[in-house]
Amino acid sequence: MVAQLDYPTMKEIFRRFAEANPHPEGELEHVNAFTLLVAVALSAQATDVGVNKATRSLWPVADTPQKMLALGEEGLIEHIKSIGLYRTKAKNVIALSRLLVERFGGQVPSSRAALVSLPGVGRKTANVVLNMGWGHPAQAVDTHIFRVGNRSGICPGKDVDVVERAIEDNVPVEYQRHAHHWLILHGRYICTARKPRCADCLIRDLCRFEEKTA
């Protein structure tokens, strides 16, 4: 495992990310906190592109927990059957919609503990909702961040919890609000799994990855 980068290097890396993309955004389409929560839950083991394609017809008819319950599990399946594990996901979305109505007044809660109490919602999903829905600097570590963090030294760790803590502990606070978006986008489009595009990388000179491509 590569060593954690030092503070001056981290500050320069995120300065460059911020300069190149001052307002990074997640790529899952949503219209409010509820649709964001559902979209992230649907995205497990699926692509954002695939989820967006399915939800474009879903949000106009089910953008609140109450409307989702009215649509029902079979109605939901008709919208999301192109997504992997759609039956399990449909069951979870209906169950979490019911709990939102029964326990939280039909509103998406703003604490991690409350969010992860919902069916199909894990820590990563909760962190995405806290970050994008509430502006909290929560770090949602996915496979892209795990790869980038361990290759570069930005946030190395043996598992996602350690990587999450490394981001929280080492990214300068003024960059933490958007840190996980910059890292996800960097991993998705530049520091790709099979053949990273090192020649196009804006932090190439600061990265600890030894097997850089031309």
The string of pLDDT tens digits covering residues 38-50 is 999 999 889 999 9
Give the pLDDT confidence score for residue 214 in this predicted structure: 72
Average pLDDT on 148-173 reads 98
How far is it, in rounded angstroms, from Cα 4 to Cα 14? 15
Task: Give alpha helix (H) positions in the chain.
Answer: 7-20, 33-42, 48-55, 65-80, 86-104, 112-116, 123-134, 143-152, 160-170, 179-189
Average of per-residue pLDDT across 182-194: 96
Q: How confident is the model at residue 137 (pLDDT cuts 50, 70, 90)?
A: very high
pLDDT higher than threshold 90 for residue 1: no
Binning pLDDT at 50, 70 and 90, where does residue 201 land? Answer: very high
Please say if the pLDDT value at position 106 is more than 90. Answer: yes
To the query of whether residue 142 is one of the catalytic residues in this protein, the response is: yes
Q: Please say if 63 is a catalytic residue.
A: no
Q: 25 phi and psi, to 5 degrees?
A: -130, 150
Annotated catalytic residue, options 11, 63, 124, 161:
124
Q: Which of 11, 53, 67, 142 is catalytic?
A: 142
At 167 the pLDDT is 98
pTM of the complete model = 0.91
